Amino acid sequence: NYASASFVTSAPDITKLPPDTGIEIAFAGRSNAGKSSALNTLTRQKALARTSKTPGRTQLINVFELDSGERLIDLPGYGFAKVPMAVKEKWQKALAEYLQKRDSLKGIVVLMDIRHPFRETDQELIYWAADCGIPVLALLTKADKLKQGPRKSTVLQARQASIAFNGDVQVEAFSSLKRIGVEQLENKLNEWFGS
Ligand code: GDP
């Protein structure tokens, strides 16, 4: 019951997350990819995750809990050009560690704008997840920006490209605006949450 999601806490880094028990699913993506909108669409809440954050700000990891006790983890958006390299590297290291060590993490949803999927940081993240045996749902967001033909061919191309990650990577079109791919997202989460 994703509508039951409620905010639990913000963590400055992964060491401050709630205890590593139960099951959690993480959401990641470049800033502005549509992650907050997707979380709000999934949970049918207007402002669970805050949209349109100021780029470059230090961002927190937001933790949401379902009535079942399972967690949705909203990871900070990445890909700011202005963030210093040292900060980027620190964050990448923390993220890699999270993927490697977090036992309760059963899947990661990677959100990418359908008009430019699989940018460098997206690829790195998906490679790490694949390496760690974490399944990935790659959502091509703002799918409403493309007409049906180009949308379909972009999804097919992305599926073809995703083979290179050598992991469990499913690619779907998604739109919060037009509610495209919401059922696919729910089905995948249900699978990961084991229901
Ligand atoms: P975040 O930074 O990844 O959390 O992205 P947001 O959810 O804040 O969305 C970034 C921008 O993309 C906002 O201006 C949203 O209105 C827009 N956006 C998000 N989802 C969609 C969508 O499905 N379709 C369209 N056309 N725009 C979207």
In the DSSP assignment, the letter for residue 163 is G
- Ranges 48-57, 74-83, 184-193, most confident: 184-193
In the chain, pLDDT over 90 holds for what percent of residues?
76
- Cβ(155)–Cβ(167) under 8 Å? no
| Ligand 1: nearest atom to the Cα of 178 | 23
| Ligand 1: nearest atom to the Cα of 32 | 2
What length is written for the chain? 195
Say how far residue 112 (Cα) sits from the centre of its chain.
9
How many whole angstroms from 125 Cα to the centroid of ligand 1? 21
State phi, psi for 154 to the nearest 5 degrees. -65, -40
Q: Note the maximum CA span of the chain.
A: 45
Give a three-class secondary structure readout of 9-31.
Answer: EEECCHHHCCCCCCCEEEEEEEC
Confidence band, pLDDT 50/70/90 cuts, at residue 55: low
Tell me the domains of the chain and their CATH numbers: 2-193 (3.40.50.300)
79 lines ligand 1 (CB under 6 A): no
| Ligand 1: nearest atom to the Cα of 29 | 3
